[in-house]
Amino acid sequence: MKTTERLLSATKDIWAAYNENPFVKGIQDGTLEQAKFKYYIIQDYLYLEEYTKVFALGIAKAKSPETIQLFSRYVTLLTEGEMDIHRGYMGKFSVSREELEATPRSLDNLSYTSYMLRVAYEEGEAEILAAILSCAYSYEVIAKKIVENNPLAQDHPFYGDWVRGYANPHYGEANVLLLEMTDRLTLHYTEQQVRHLEDIFVACSRYELAFWEMAWNMSK
């Protein structure tokens, strides 16, 4: 079994819960209260700033030009692609730079990014990929399931940009590269090393679920 198949199999139940979360369901049927979405989008922008640094540390830890390229391309995809979705919504909500900078990170946000950054500072390139994967890939899976359940979600006048942003084939193509690189780098990993990757992936998948719950409850 490929490493990524092992990781996904270890987190099946957690991943199944993402699309059951009321926040995600609210995006799917377009009924999500906009105040909750505003809270989420600001927290998520702050999250993405830290998440980008995990890729930057991946560059520093990279052992081949291919992994340097993979991590560095992602930095561009994040700062010029994904974060643009957020900037679009922050524009609609008239969130100023001052408001963004004055917003404290919620505890779930802080814990998640602190964990990923610790893995990035202390461990190697494959472990960094294991920490990144739940974040990168779960949003593709969630958005595609939203579209499968409600094809009209893509055209929703408010949430459509978010749904299209993550269900977009370009977002998926970038994830294929992350998944393939994880499998390539861990081809000769021992059982103990793969178990350690599983621990990292399970922790990040749990943090993802906590982030949706944080957004729904607007918890600080």
Ligand X SMILES: Cc1ncc(CN)c(N)n1
Interface residue list for ligand X (CB under 6 A): 44, 47-48, 82, 135-136, 139, 208, 211
Between 127 and 208, CB nearer to ligand X: 208
Between 156 and 171, CB nearer to ligand X: 171
- Catalytic (active site) residue 135: yes
Q: Which of 125, 127, 140, 208 is catalytic?
A: 208
Q: Dig out the tokens for 76 from the structure.
A: 């561009």
**Cβ of residue 40: shortest distance to ligand X, in angstroms?**
9
Q: Which of 82, 125, 127, 135 is catalytic?
A: 135
Amino acid residing at 141: V
Between 145 and 193, CB nearer to ligand X: 145
**Cβ of residue 132: shortest distance to ligand X, in angstroms?**
9
Between 23 and 211, CB nearer to ligand X: 211
- Give DSSP secondary structure letters for 32-98: --HHHHHHHHHHHHHHHHHHHHHHHHHHHH--SHHHHHHHHHHHHHIIIIIHHHHHHHHHHTT--HH
**Cβ of residue 188: shortest distance to ligand X, in angstroms?**
29
Q: Which of 168, 177, 156 shows the shortest CA–CA distance to 4?
A: 177
Residues 6 or more apart from 42 whose CB is under 8 A from it?
90, 95, 99, 100, 103
Task: Answer yes or no: are the C-beta atoms of 75 and 175 closer than 8 Å.
Answer: no
- Catalytic (active site) residue 123: no
- Eight-class DSSP state of 156: -
Catalytic residues: 135, 208
